[in-house]
Amino acid sequence: MCKQARRFVKRRVFIRYRYAYAKSEGTLVSTPAIPFNIGNTAFMLICASLVMLMTPGLAFFYGGLVQRKNVLTIMIQSFMSLGWTTVIWYAFGYSESFGPDWHGIIGDPTHYAFLKGITLQTMFTGNDAGIPLVVHVAYQMMFAIITPALITGAFANRVTFKAYFLFLTGWLVFVYFPFVHMLWSPDGILAKWGALDFAGGIVVHASAGFAALASVLYIGRRHVVDNTPHSVPLIALGTGLLWFGWYGFNAGSELRVDPVTATAFLNTDIAASFAAVTWFLVEWARGRQPKFVGLLTGAVAGLATITPAAGYVSPSTAVVFGVCSGVICYLGVALKNRQGWDDALDVWGVHGVGGFLGIILLGIFASTAWNPNGANGLLFGGVGFFGKQFVAALVCSAWAFIFTYAMLWLINRITPAKVDPLAEERGLDVELHGEEAYPVSA
């Protein structure tokens, strides 16, 4: 047998079987393995990269919305999540999210601690996509990074960095990781119950949105309220990066390449586009001027709303998601303004309302014709499924709100959560970080 043929045979044997040393018996045993799939693995690595890009995109989006004197403060919060969340995820976050189950609520934090036991040959067993487990670790880590960063827009311009650092840590451990386990781990209580969340309507957007509302109510209003964006081009750049990265966010959540992946990709763009135009037209009709920021905000609202349903509904249904999102999220922001809630960057109105709305609409429009592994919604006889979606969204949103409020109360006992009025007037970039985005000398 020639050298090339021997290499081919060895590779096929390696792909079909992996060997594990059975310590209890002291013998070498072979166990069938999921075949390694080059295409799916490459696709998931690209999707992980796209989702990672969303966090800098969010930093630009929020950075453009705040005043010149607070640009670096809001941006460092996103980039801090990029770094610190990775450390926590490596240490125990992935294990808490996807480790062996504890009462359907959380995983064993020690099982995969510091990626213990994960080797080059360890395959992801959640499906037969043939991706290494390290790829799943990386992909899900990007979701963990951006979720708490979303909340920062609510308390922009008035939170100390020490308080934010404690908040970031506690929120991941007690809100995000449990939600991931409950909905995306096969042993999770909500997953077993039958609730669905394709890419993060509950896990990411509703949880972050209602946590944002709790933070606004606890911390209170800014002493200097100025909602005039300092750079609309930065907002446009951030929106473009978010929209681009969202294809990896939604399409990648299928964890393989198949027709559902392509549908989720298309649904993402359709919902975002229809929501952007709807928000734009509603705001134009009410204000008599076409607003670029409104168009951009509507797109993000549509992206948040389609997220839980991207792989469970048809492209025609994605149009409904987009239009409903453009109207209802706009009204959510209007309600916030009437109530006097100082959600500086409309996190609750866009992500909280959008994520919750997407879960409810999924309960209505889901169809197994578009995903055999999904469910049928209310329109197709799935009354029970609709009820499960509503209860799951309600319970998780309530937990995110209550825990966030209580955690901020505790943090405020350890270190002041809110900056003093003088620091707010001077700008947090200089007061907290000693840096300026736009130095006068420049």
The span from the first CA to the last CA of the chain, in angstroms, equals: 70
CA angle 182–184–190, rounded 5-degree value: 35
Tell me which H or E stretch contains 101. Answer: strand 101-102
pLDDT greater than 90 at residue 281 = yes
Q: Does the pLDDT at position 119 exceed 70?
A: yes
Going by pLDDT thresholds of 50, 70 and 90, the confidence category of residue 440 is confident
Q: Is the dihedral of CA 406, 409, 410, 416 positive or negative?
A: positive
413, with CB counted inside 10 A (0-12, 13-18, 19+), is: exposed
Residue-level pLDDT at 33: 72
Work out the average pLDDT over 406-424. 96
Q: Is 21 exposed, middle or buried (0-12, 13-18, 19+ CB in 10 A)?
A: exposed
Q: Please say if the pLDDT value at position 430 is more than 60.
A: yes
Instruction: State mean pLDDT over 73-77.
Output: 98
Q: How far apart are CA 195 and CA 173, in angstroms?
A: 22
Q: What is the mean pLDDT of residues 88-111?
A: 96
pLDDT tens, residue by residue, 172-231: 999 999 999 999 999 999 999 999 999 999 999 999 999 999 999 999 999 888 899 999
What angle (nearest 5°) sits at the alpha carbon of residue 201, between those of residues 145 and 42? 55
DSSP result, 85-145 = HHHHIIIIIHHHHHSSEETTTEE-TTTTGGGTT--TTPBP-SSSS--BHHHHHHHHHHHHH
pLDDT attached to residue 153: 96
**Dihedral of the alpha carbons of 76, 82, 86, 88, in degrees to the nearest 10:** 40
From the number of C-beta atoms within 10 Å of its C-beta (0-12, 13-18, 19+), residue 381 rates as exposed
- For residue range 155-173, list pLDDT tens digits in order: 999 999 999 999 999 999 9
Q: Residue 246 and residue 268: Cα distance in Å, rounded? A: 7
pLDDT at 441: 63
Does 288 have pLDDT greater than 90? no
Per-residue model confidence (pLDDT) at position 442: 53
Q: Which domains are assigned to the chain?
A: 3-32 (no CATH), 38-433 (1.10.3430.10)
Separation between Cα atoms, residue 359 and residue 201, nearest integer Å: 6
Kindly tell me if the per-residue pLDDT of 17 is higher than 80: no
Please state the rounded mean pLDDT for residues 63-92: 97
SS3 content of the chain, % helix, strand, coil (to 5): 70, 5, 25
How many residues does the structure list for the chain? Answer: 442
The mean of the pLDDT values for the chain is: 92
CB 156 within 8 A of CB 412: no
Q: pTM for this one?
A: 0.91
Contact 15, 36 (CB under 8 A): yes
Q: What does the DSSP 8-state code read for residue 154?
A: T
- pLDDT band of residue 299 (cuts 50, 70, 90) is very high
Provide the pairing of β-strand 27-32 with 17-22.
Answer: antiparallel
Give, in order, the Cα–Cα distances in Å from 320 to each of 9, 278, 358.
52, 11, 11
Quick one: pLDDT at residue 8? 38
| Mean pLDDT within 70-92 | 98
Q: What percent of the chain has pLDDT over 90?
A: 90
pLDDT of residue 7: 43
| CA pseudo-torsion sign 419, 422, 423, 425 | positive
